[in-house]
Structure 1
Amino acid sequence: MKTIKILAIPLLFIGCLVSCKKDTPVTTADTEKLSETKEFKVDFEKFTLDNGLQVIFHIDRSDPVVAVALTAHVGSAREIEGRTGFAHLFEHLLFLESENLGKGGLDKMSARIGGSGANGSTSRDRTNYFQTVPKDALEKMIWAEADKLGFFINTVTDPVLAKEKQVVKNEKRQSVDNRPYGHVSYVIDKNMFPKDHPYNWQVIGSLEDLQNATLQDVKDFYNRWYVPNNVTLTIAGDFDTSQAKEWVHKYFDEIKKGEDIEPLKKRPASLTETKKLYYEDNFARLPQLTMTWPAVHQYHPDSYALDVLSSYLSEGKKAPFNKVIVEDKQLAPNVTMFHYGSELAGQFRLIVRGFEKVDLNEVDKAVQESFTKFETEGISQEDLDRIKAGLETNFYNSLSSVLGKGFQLAQYEIFAGDPDFINQDIKNILAVTTDDIKRVYNQYIKGKHYVATSFVPIGQTDLILNNSTLAEVVEEKIVEGTEENFDASIVATYDKTPSNFDRSVEPAYGDTPKVTVPEVWEDNLTSGIKVYGIENNEVPLVQFRMNIRGGLLLEKSNKVGVSNLLAELLTKGTKNKTAEELENAIESLGAILNVYATDESIVISGSTLSKNYDKTVTLIKEILLEPRWDEKEFGLIKQSVTSQIQQQKASPRSIAGNEYAKLIYGEDHILSHNNLGTEGSVKEITIKDLKQYYNNNLSPSVTKLHIAGNISKEQVTTSLTELNKNWVPKDVRFPELKAPTSPERSKVYFYDVPGAKQSMLRFGYRAMPATDKDYYPVSIMNYRLGGGGFASQLTQQLREGKGYTYGIRSGFSGTPTLGSFVISSGVRSNVTYESTSLVKEILENYGKNYNDDDLEITKSSLIKSNARASETLGAKLNILTNISTLQYPNDYITQREEVVNNMTVEEVKKLANQYLNPNKMIYLVVGDAKTQMKKLEQLGFGTPILLNKENEIVKD
């Protein structure tokens, strides 16, 4: 896909890691209140064209935008062995060109119409294409989607296919081959499903299969699966349904129906033995045990109980796996567990990434002990209710945008047989009983066979599970000049598909939507807290973000990591609640609460059901004013953070971010440090250090609360009464930060990761803060360079033109005091020099070649995209943050339109010449020094400086 979403598994990981879902008994009153919520219903209209196209409409007039999604019921499960990765390859191809959109296709049009960025995703069972656009572009989108479905395949030529193969292969290198534990799912699926099962291979396919794909293979796949009777079109947002119906008929009716497609039969995995496998991972620094049991398909009646079971077993202080593995035996910082259901089968997966040098046999014993603990204690009704409350909040969060609702309606149509399942799904979640939990555990987990994988650092096979066999994993070698050449500029010649009207004429815009800036309210409390809010009643949710200025800024360079450890500890109990009781109290409200530290703040953020907002604020007050300072929890947190730091050492992406900060700030600057700290500094930090930071720096006088959702200003103000009264202000002093200087001459720095399949690039310099008068103008200037996605020159030349990368971007970022410019990408290892040289060339010529067409595209995109600027609660919080932190006026969104409209080509050229000098930048490359470092001398910036000199480079 265009931005990697190969499977839902990474999303499940995110949900487990960022949600601080917690745990205390729910009272009868609380349980009754949970059931009092007014039934949430998503209305829709569905109709079917004569050619079989399913069409679903949903009206939401809260913002002048429309989300359009085309979902094909084809994923990797419809492929055959030896020709894997085709569904995902098509997700890429369909954006490039179609007969009437021309070269650049939907990507090029999206840049003009202010779309959210045309994108797509592929799973085992479906591929979707989507974006949100201003409502005046709806006909254009319907025209474009029809062109992809009925007027596309002739535009795919051998050069187009050759180039896109390289892009997809780069995606695989980035998301799998160059990533710690990237091959885990490959090993599991190969051993979970038989060779002829459509889930035996990965969605992204193999590099060999992708390389062997022929043009005829591609055409055959498209003609079989991309037909109206295998596709659902969803339109959600602010539009006229009768007019939209006319457009759908006009553009889709004449596309011919394909052959009938028989549904695939459910085919759950069945293991006759437990399989144990191991692999020495080049990028891993810690041992990881993954255990996977066959389970049920998506929306199976038992899938809901399995979801709850995974949550109960692994999430929160009370979870049996947390009690045994994390707290008692201290083998790992956390445990991840989830049920992953697909159309044909499902998996129940447990992941334990141990601390350094932990024997995975000890982890295995602890897993069995954890299961025994669950069997003995079971799950209480109170625990079940708190988990349901969290699932209810997550469900509403998934529907908080028109695109989210559109996605779900299509999902339910294809996999549940009816879009109305959107109104049944939450009922099924809330109907799970404690007996259901026990039953599914006994039926699918207890005593059943599973696949166990031990992934360990190279040379540490002494840590693997006993009786494990070596897993077969295909590793790509770095060889210069092995990729095929192609000319992506060649224009395809073909006979156009006939139509009963001239489809080459792009539809006109509709009436220009009126951009409504959300009404912002403000309140300055007597304690010094500044409150900024937006009331919005689309879903029964409230989202909030409290910024307490400080973070890394207020730390000492010899004890970096204090603010991060403090943020972690604040959720581990209060004066009157243990960590377990606090977690229970949070999750029982259906709340998600995160406390984390950044370079310049400690942040308390989250969401809650609006009916439980007051109780959530009470808990926030308790966390802030009555920390528990639990020594045991502090020790566990230090172990966990140390593990994170060790893991970062194995990730090229993390290495690039950490090393780039050192280079642009300088070694003596506090912000040059990783805010997690180092293994040494974390070891030295004590609770006394945390208390000192807390007593000196956490103050209402440097706090700003941003809140959006189904809540009024009066309700918010009233809820903050106790916090305002009891939080004593302090005089927080911020150090004078020396502004880092930009380099007078470019230098190249290299960090060696032997065997890296990609090189991570970070090029840039210290730039202006976000309050500088040029900050927004340079963002306008940067749009066509690298800020406009597929409208950017960097993307068009390095990805679309050369196939060097999966993605590349550039941008200015800043705070009230500091800012930076950075170009970032991951490129194929054997074109590291070529990619860097091309970026340098683009920078040199950007200002010189900038023209009226570039400016017109920039203006159209930036102005029209304002229709989407405040659609979601998260977007509203970002608006409030800009207003409060950067002192932007409340209507800055519309004021910026004037800045964009007044921008000239000459002004852009001037800004480019001033701020884009490739000879005064830092060039950082993280990759394989043995094969790539020497060639970078050709850039003309001298001999590259090796940052990790302990890595000896073997001379060729």
Structure 2
Amino acid sequence: MLQRTTAFALFLSLISCQEEAKDTNPPLDVNYEKIVLDNGLNVIFHIDKSDPVVAVSLTAHVGSAREKTGRTGFAHLFEHLLFLESENLGKGGLDQMSARIGGSGANGSTNRDRTNYYQTVPKNALEKMIWAEADKLGWFINTVTEPVLAKEKQVVKNEKRQRVDNQPYGHTYYVANKNLYPSGHPYNWQVIGSLEDLQNATLDDVKEFYAKWYTPNNVTLVIAGDFDLAQTKTWVKKYFNEIPSGDPISPINPQPATLDSTIKVYHEDNFANLPELTLIWPTVEIYHPDSYALEVLSNYLSQGKSAPLYQVLVEDKKLTSNTKMYNYNAELAGELYLNVTGFDQIDLDDVLLAINEGFEKFGKEGISDQDLIRIKAQQEADFYGSISSVVAKSFYLAQYNIFADDPGFISRDLQQTLQVTKSDVQRVYEKYIKGKPFVATSFVPKGQLDLALKNSKKAEVVEETISQGAEETFDSSIEATYEKTPSTFDRSIEPPYGETPKITPPTVWNTVLTNGLQVYGIKNNEVPVVDFNLIIKGGQSLETSDNLGVANLVAGLLTKGTANKTPQELEEEIELLGATLDISAQKESIRISGSTLAKNFEQTIALVEEVIVSPRWDEKELALYKQEVISWIQQDAASPGKIADNQFDSLFYGEGHILSNNLFGTAASIESLNMDDLKAYYQLLSSANTTMHVVGDISQSSVQTALQPMVVSWPTKAVNIPDLPTLDTPKKSTVFFYDVPGAKQSHLRLGYPSLSSLDKDYFPAKVMNYLLGASGFASRLTQQLRETKGYTYHADSEFQGGLNKGPFLVYCSVRSNVTLESLEVIKQILENYGESFSNEDLLTTKSSMVKGNARAFETASAKLRMLENISTYGWSTDYVLQQGQIVENMTLDEIKSLADNYLKSDQMIWLVVGDAKTQMDRLSELGFGTPILLNEKSEVMMSSK
């Protein structure tokens, strides 16, 4: 969160409409202090006392660009290893410690040029985190063994399969970079690396990498939040000072890509149902003066109703539902991407012709004053939103320190965006795009090569072959033997907790307006921003079998103009306010979400009112949106993860239940719906069934004043929300399989109708589930499936709750050739969880969940969730403290009883989405009968109910 008085001075005023006028807003100001230890470690401190939490992030200036040829993916693999263990932190590393101290979950990320590690913890655990981060940096390498390395290779390869190999268009960046950058260029390969290179990594590689790059003189430590500066400096020096500096590291100069001619390549994508064209132009490195104008240019060309590419490709030619363009800048070079997913059977040559037409339109007309103002307002608001937590601020401070050599560059960075002029935008278009060569990738469905750009060459994409028993085995439990790295004091002693922070829930106000609209709010003046939502009961639950998908169509069309504003006029007014507005259909509600600068709240709410009470009902927009939704349905039908979610809903709710259907409907149902159908559904939206939640720098009286016009324009009316059918627990487990031929992973969804959020056992069951699958990398499921077996990237479980029975759900994706083995592990964990739950597990659960309440109100989104829980379930305003007391009072016997009652492995839906040819028949060994193949049944009625 932002410190109100000294952390950030946030100002937004619309810039002059003079073309070359420079923005005169005061610069963004961040209080920070930077020190450099004798060993070269850069340390940045940022004090923010708005919440009793502290973020600690450690960033090494090394990413995939510093890897050796033949060892691609190594920087990312190393990121994984650094979490596992260190000499004094012990097995489980930060993951296990996080589960004890109430941290938000230790995590990290790797990109081309840096690797970071981060966590937000209660303020009384700060010394523990400093101790742990120092241990990773100076006392780590001896703990890495061959079995540990072998296991983590499998985890990273699973991550690659999940994010790249098993996704529609997943190989796009690989193909783009291979053709944009020559062999040997540091950006020629992907951060995730290749499966072959990952497998070839050796223990000597790990040690060499650590010795060269993980030295204090190549690392930045950021501590941001509520802490005592003098004491924290003492701790940092105590734990980090004696780590020796490494060899000097020479900087790498920018190496922008150059193209002599346009390159066209194609790939037949096993997971794609629609053709997709991506164009990539070489641009500039991060913080280059031209990067800011390129950001504005890419936004203007592709986003919104006034965008030239949108007008030509979407509205005029009807080739796609949207266009996406963005500028990606890294330390050594930059790339400008234009991505268009065509409708079914669209020839990508037609898409390219339309793109060129859009560019010609821009070349003649340029960008208007109002559009430049609009885009800047939106980018400034987005920037403020991106730094709304202490951990986010720690990312920025480290990023600027490493790549701009100045943590304070945060102020100049935003100013450079605000100072972009119309001539800057035109200049970068002509310099980097107009008539310039590019890389074009055509990704088309199998058997549809005729849709690829003419004269394209086949892209080199390595596809993994599924083979049983192909992966090496390992025993990651083998303890490393080594001589401990010396220290001037005993580092094996974990530092104590500091004083327990007082947790004070924010003050909540609520009122009911005369039209029945209920309003709940929290005043929070840390930043001049207001976040809000309106939740209208109904959603998909008000549909029938004759109008499937109508709720989503209504939600989408409400933002397509009003009776008095064209779609473009509405869009521009919202963005000129520095606001956002999104409307979506949920299973049991229509949700209107928004954010705006506090000074513009009344104007923003006036637009929300107009959207709700005066829809435009534009036939042209309906036709466009229907085609867009059908495109989504077609894309989801090729994504294994989306298939798994939709198929689980179908099985969970059962035949005839309205919520068993895809929220988008079907292609046939969308085609059949007309404007009268939408208007009929719209009549079911009532202020009497609506609750509004408001969080930000605004008083209750100001909110009520802003809402008064809506009281008159949206009068109350009675709309009955039907009770949904009761869901029964299956009498026995059944295995279902959905075939995705050639799938590199199997998506698993296991669950059954369990508890509503109003059930007395709901929260206690969540406590019981914490160590099972809700505690991140420390959970039983992840520890067994990932850390012990190397089968998956991560695994989770949860009691979803809701006003009606929600599912108990276990979900993950696993390496295809261990599908049965993974299910057997999950089954065993569920069956033995209660019996194996120990007093130590109970203490860990209590410590983590109670201490974690310090983070319960940190962000605006967390406060909104709190308000939703209060309004939806009737919970008290201090329910977080009450739940903390429930955790404190839980006994081991209660945990065991809850596990026995609610972990029903023999009364569940066991759904697998994967390669049936190699995996389906094996699943009979689970003991739940012969799997049912869902592809052969459009509707499956569960005989087990």
Which range, TM-score by smaller chain?
over 0.9
* CA shift digits 1:420-457 (9 cap, x unpaired): 00111111110000000000000011011100000000
Residue 441 of structure 1: aligned partner: 429
**In the alignment, does 2:626 pair up with 1:638?**
yes
1:479 partner amino acid: S
Q: Distance in 2 between matches of 1:214 and 1:430?
A: 48
* CA shift digits 1:891-949 (9 cap, x unpaired): 00011111001100000110110011211111000000000011100011110000002
1:99 partner amino acid: E
Residue 10 of structure 1: aligned partner: none
Residue 619 of structure 1: aligned partner: 607
Give the conservation status (yes or no) of the 8 Å contact 2:256–2:334.
Answer: yes
Structure 1: 5+ residue stretches without partners: 1-24, 952-956
Per-residue deviation at 1:709?
A: 1.2
For residues 765-780 of structure 1, the aligned pairs below 5 Å read 765-780=752-767
**In the alignment, does 2:698 pair up with 1:699?**
no
Does the C-alpha gap of structure 1 residues 757 and 629 become closer, same or farther in structure 2, counting only changes over 3 Å?
same
Q: Distance in 1 between matches of 2:55 and 2:895?
A: 32
Q: Distance in 2 between matches of 1:59 and 1:564?
A: 44
Q: Distance in 2 between matches of 1:552 and 1:86?
A: 46
Per-residue deviation at 1:34?
A: 13
Per-residue deviation at 1:381?
A: 1.3
Stretch moving more, 102-111 or 816-825: 816-825
For residues 853-892 of structure 1, the aligned pairs below 5 Å read 853-892=840-879
1:161 partner amino acid: L
Give the conservation status (yes or no) of the 8 Å contact 2:20–2:423.
Answer: no
Q: Distance in 2 between matches of 1:299 and 1:472?
A: 32
Per-residue deviation at 1:950?
A: 7.8
* CA shift digits 1:14-39 (9 cap, x unpaired): xxxxxxxxxxx989799999979775
Q: Distance in 1 between matches of 2:730 and 2:21?
A: 61
Residue 162 of structure 1: aligned partner: 150
For residues 682-721 of structure 1, the aligned pairs below 5 Å read 682-695=670-683, 697-721=684-708
Does the C-alpha gap of structure 1 residues 194 and 412 become closer, same or farther in structure 2, counting only changes over 3 Å?
same
Per-residue deviation at 1:615?
A: 1.0
Structure 2: 5+ residue stretches without partners: 1-12, 939-945
1:188 partner amino acid: A
Per-residue deviation at 1:864?
A: 0.4
Give the conservation status (yes or no) of the 8 Å contact 2:27–2:412.
Answer: no
1:308 partner amino acid: V
Q: Distance in 1 between matches of 2:23 and 2:575?
A: 16
**In the alignment, does 2:813 pair up with 1:831?**
no
Residue 942 of structure 2: aligned partner: none
Residue 225 of structure 1: aligned partner: 213
1:180 partner amino acid: P
Residue 60 of structure 1: aligned partner: 48
Does the C-alpha gap of structure 1 residues 34 and 265 become closer, same or farther in structure 2, counting only changes over 3 Å?
closer
Give the conservation status (yes or no) of the 8 Å contact 2:20–2:422.
Answer: no
**In the alignment, does 2:813 pair up with 1:822?**
no
Q: Secondary structure of the residue that 1:636 maps to in structure 2?
A: helix
Q: Distance in 2 between matches of 1:189 and 1:294?
A: 10
Residue 4 of structure 1: aligned partner: none
Q: Distance in 1 between matches of 2:232 and 2:276?
A: 51
Q: Secondary structure of the residue that 2:286 maps to in structure 1?
A: coil
Does the C-alpha gap of structure 1 residues 39 and 199 become closer, same or farther in structure 2, counting only changes over 3 Å?
closer
**In the alignment, does 2:905 pair up with 1:913?**
no
Q: Secondary structure of the residue that 2:174 maps to in structure 1?
A: helix
Q: Distance in 2 between matches of 1:528 and 1:638?
A: 33
Does the C-alpha gap of structure 1 residues 568 and 36 become closer, same or farther in structure 2, counting only changes over 3 Å?
farther
Percentage of identical aligned residues: 61
Stretch moving more, 436-445 or 516-525: 516-525
Q: Distance in 1 between matches of 2:156 and 2:937?
A: 34
Residue 43 of structure 1: aligned partner: 31
Residue 271 of structure 2: aligned partner: 283
2:355 maps to which of 354, 367, 384: 367
Q: Distance in 1 between matches of 2:852 and 2:319?
A: 48
Give the conservation status (yes or no) of the 8 Å contact 1:308–1:387.
Answer: yes
For residues 718-757 of structure 1, the aligned pairs below 5 Å read 718-757=705-744
TM-score (norm 1): 0.96
For residues 178-577 of structure 1, the aligned pairs below 5 Å read 178-577=166-565
Q: Distance in 1 between matches of 2:527 and 2:252?
A: 36
* CA shift digits 1:547-589 (9 cap, x unpaired): 1111001011232110100011001000110001000101111
2:375 partner amino acid: I
Per-residue deviation at 1:387?
A: 0.3
Q: Secondary structure of the residue that 2:898 maps to in structure 1?
A: helix
Per-residue deviation at 1:725?
A: 1.7
Residue 7 of structure 1: aligned partner: none
1:758 maps to which of 745, 748, 753: 745
**In the alignment, does 2:936 pair up with 1:935?**
no
Q: Distance in 2 between matches of 1:875 and 1:312?
A: 32
Does the C-alpha gap of structure 1 residues 431 and 27 become closer, same or farther in structure 2, counting only changes over 3 Å?
closer
Q: Secondary structure of the residue that 1:557 maps to in structure 2?
A: coil
Q: Distance in 2 between matches of 1:306 and 1:841?
A: 54
Q: Distance in 2 between matches of 1:599 and 1:434?
A: 44
* CA shift digits 1:824-879 (9 cap, x unpaired): 00000000000001100111101111110111000000000000001011111111
Give the conservation status (yes or no) of the 8 Å contact 1:34–1:389.
Answer: no
For residues 8-27 of structure 1, the aligned pairs below 5 Å read none
**In the alignment, does 2:884 pair up with 1:897?**
yes
Residue 17 of structure 1: aligned partner: none
* CA shift digits 1:214-252 (9 cap, x unpaired): 100111011100000000000000000000000000000
Give the conservation status (yes or no) of the 8 Å contact 1:26–1:382.
Answer: no
* CA shift digits 1:430-488 (9 cap, x unpaired): 00000000000000110111000000000000001010000000010001101111011
Q: Distance in 1 between matches of 2:262 and 2:555?
A: 41
* CA shift digits 1:254-312 (9 cap, x unpaired): 00000000111100000011000000000000000000000011111011100000110
Does the C-alpha gap of structure 1 residues 30 and 514 become closer, same or farther in structure 2, counting only changes over 3 Å?
farther
Does the C-alpha gap of structure 1 residues 542 and 37 become closer, same or farther in structure 2, counting only changes over 3 Å?
farther
Q: Distance in 2 between matches of 1:305 and 1:35?
A: 14
1:822 partner amino acid: L
Give the conservation status (yes or no) of the 8 Å contact 2:37–2:241.
Answer: yes
Does the C-alpha gap of structure 1 residues 442 and 28 become closer, same or farther in structure 2, counting only changes over 3 Å?
closer
TM-score (norm 2): 0.97
- Deviation >6 Å, runs of 4+: 25-38
Q: Distance in 2 between matches of 1:634 and 1:196?
A: 50
1:758 partner amino acid: Q
Q: Distance in 2 between matches of 1:378 and 1:71?
A: 41
Give the conservation status (yes or no) of the 8 Å contact 1:31–1:385.
Answer: no
Per-residue deviation at 1:40?
A: 3.9
Count of aligned pairs: 926
2:808 partner amino acid: F
Q: Secondary structure of the residue that 2:712 maps to in structure 1?
A: helix
**In the alignment, does 2:828 pair up with 1:805?**
no
Residue 10 of structure 2: aligned partner: none
Does the C-alpha gap of structure 1 residues 730 and 39 become closer, same or farther in structure 2, counting only changes over 3 Å?
farther
Does the C-alpha gap of structure 1 residues 29 and 293 become closer, same or farther in structure 2, counting only changes over 3 Å?
closer
Q: Distance in 2 between matches of 1:251 and 1:883?
A: 43
Q: Distance in 2 between matches of 1:145 and 1:825?
A: 29
Q: Distance in 1 between matches of 2:252 and 2:518?
A: 57
Q: Distance in 2 between matches of 1:354 and 1:489?
A: 49
Per-residue deviation at 1:133?
A: 0.1
Give the conservation status (yes or no) of the 8 Å contact 1:764–1:823.
Answer: yes
Q: Distance in 1 between matches of 2:699 and 2:390?
A: 23
Does the C-alpha gap of structure 1 residues 704 and 31 become closer, same or farther in structure 2, counting only changes over 3 Å?
farther
Q: Distance in 2 between matches of 1:131 and 1:410?
A: 14
1:847 partner amino acid: G
1:849 maps to which of 836, 843, 860: 836
Give the conservation status (yes or no) of the 8 Å contact 1:161–1:215.
Answer: yes
For residues 123-138 of structure 1, the aligned pairs below 5 Å read 123-138=111-126
Q: Distance in 2 between matches of 1:263 and 1:950?
A: 60
* CA shift digits 1:351-384 (9 cap, x unpaired): 0000000000000100000000001111011110
